[in-house]
């Protein structure tokens, strides 16, 4: 019998048993990947479920599960198609940094958002409608076969956390700028390694979905012309739910890209205009081009125009 760890005002969800099992499997992803269970060639449903249950730790058995409906057949087929297309693409290949990026090690950690800013984020993101699968770009079929990336530093906390609760600091020179992603994501391996218990804390219960755990992020990102501070919501997502199994930080639309007026200038345009990327003494083919911020909505929900 499942133990109820958290209650919410949301109504009960009616769905097929296989969809409920899919939600349970989503929560357990990561903690049981290295476990192998020996099964006979032919077994029964009851015996198979019992073997799985006997393998779970006490912590696994008492995790909160947010029951969500499974993907539609069309969504499943799309993921299978994307996975097939990605099979010849190296997941270890890195995106190209935009011009004038500085190393993430030189970017100071951002300040945590104020309570008023946190409340505004919660009202914006929750309660939310079920989200479609992220349209993460799997293959960049343009000239260089690369996506743009940005240097950044982020501070991660639980959405309802308060100082001095645990906060996780990450830096990356390859935060992928992905205009095709619905939301911004952090691959789960970046959290599970150094902070194995963070995602299992009950404070995340109402923000846990089959595809991952939503967390609060204060970020500082170095664009070609400006260092941007922004507070928003990211989702920590298991690698096997990210096309290409790309480990890292993905900057998506909701709460991030859709807060900016920006200009992107790929290398090809810079070269044709006579403003070669090599003018900045970079190594050939080492930079994507420029992404310049023209205006943005700040954490106080005010628009800021940059001269």
Q: Residue 148: helix, strand or coil by DSSP?
A: strand
In the DSSP assignment, the letter for residue 108 is: P
Widest distance between CA atoms in the chain: 70
Q: Across residues 156-164, what is the average pLDDT?
A: 84
CA dist., res. 252 & res. 131, Å (int): 13
For residue 172, pLDDT over 80 is answered with: yes
pTM score over 0.75: no
Nearest to 150 by CA among 171, 170, 174: 174
The pLDDT-based confidence of 277 (bands split at 50, 70, 90) is: low
Average pLDDT value for the chain: 76
Using one digit for the tens of pLDDT, what is the confidence trace for 109-139? 777 778 887 777 777 666 555 555 444 444 4
At residue 194, the pLDDT reads 83
The pLDDT-based confidence of 73 (bands split at 50, 70, 90) is: low
Return the residue matching tokens 């391996």. Answer: 189
At residue 61, the pLDDT reads 77
Q: Residue 113: helix, strand or coil by DSSP?
A: coil
For residue 291, pLDDT over 80 is answered with: yes
Using one digit for the tens of pLDDT, what is the confidence trace for 221-271? 999 999 999 999 999 999 888 877 889 999 999 899 999 999 998 888 887
Percent share of the chain, pLDDT over 70: 69
Percent share of the chain, pLDDT over 90: 28
Nearest to 168 by CA among 218, 214, 242, 104: 218
Return the residue matching tokens 């049981």. Answer: 32
Nearest to 257 by CA among 175, 153, 178, 142: 178
Return the residue matching tokens 């006579």. Answer: 274
Lowest-confidence segment of 20-24, 183-187, 292-296 by average pLDDT: 20-24
Most confidently predicted of 77-91, 212-226, 270-284: 212-226
For residue 96, pLDDT over 80 is answered with: no
For residue 141, pLDDT over 60 is answered with: no
CA dist., res. 23 & res. 13, Å (int): 12
Q: Are 201 and 158 in contact (CB under 8 A)?
A: yes
For residue 93, pLDDT over 90 is answered with: no
Q: Residue 230: helix, strand or coil by DSSP?
A: strand
Question: Both tokens of residue 168?
Answer: 């996780």
CA dist., res. 141 & res. 233, Å (int): 29
For residue 154, pLDDT over 80 is answered with: yes
CA dist., res. 68 & res. 55, Å (int): 24
The pLDDT-based confidence of 89 (bands split at 50, 70, 90) is: very low
């Amino acid at each position: 019998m499942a133990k109820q760890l958290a209650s919410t005002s949301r109504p009960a969800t009616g769905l097929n048993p296989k969809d409920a099992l899919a939600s349970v499997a989503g929560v357990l992803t990561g903690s049981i990947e290295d476990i192998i269970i020996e099964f006979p060639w032919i077994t029964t449903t009851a015996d198979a479920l019992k073997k799985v249950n006997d393998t779970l730790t006490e912590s696994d058995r008492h995790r909160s599960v947010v029951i969500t409906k499974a993907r539609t057949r069309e969504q499943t087929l799309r993921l299978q198609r994307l996975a097939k297309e990605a099979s010849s693409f190296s997941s270890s290949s890195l995106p190209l940094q935009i011009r004038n990026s500085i190393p993430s090690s030189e970017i100071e950690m951002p300040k945590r958002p104020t309570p008023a800013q946190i409340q505004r984020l919660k009202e914006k993101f929750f309660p939310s409608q079920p989200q479609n699968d992220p349209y993460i770009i799997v293959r960049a079929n343009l000239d260089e076969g690369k996506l743009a990336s940005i240097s950044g530093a982020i501070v991660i906390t639980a959405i309802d956390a308060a100082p001095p609760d645990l906060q996780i600091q990450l830096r990356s020179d390859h935060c992928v700028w992905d205009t095709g992603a619905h939301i911004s994501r952090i691959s789960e391996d970046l959290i599970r390694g150094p902070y194995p218990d963070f995602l299992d804390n009950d404070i995340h219960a109402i923000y846990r979905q089959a595809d991952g755990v939503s967390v609060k992020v204060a970020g500082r990102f170095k664009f070609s012309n400006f260092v941007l501070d922004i507070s928003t919501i990211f989702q920590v997502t298991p690698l096997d739910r990210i096309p290409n199994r790309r480990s890292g930080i993905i900057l998506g639309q909701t709460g991030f890209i859709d807060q900016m007026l920006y200009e992107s200038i790929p290398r090809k345009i810079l070269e044709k205009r006579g403003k070669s990327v090599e003018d900045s003494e970079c190594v050939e083919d080492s930079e994507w081009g420029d992404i310049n911020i023209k205006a943005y909505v700040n954490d106080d929900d005010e628009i800021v125009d940059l001269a």
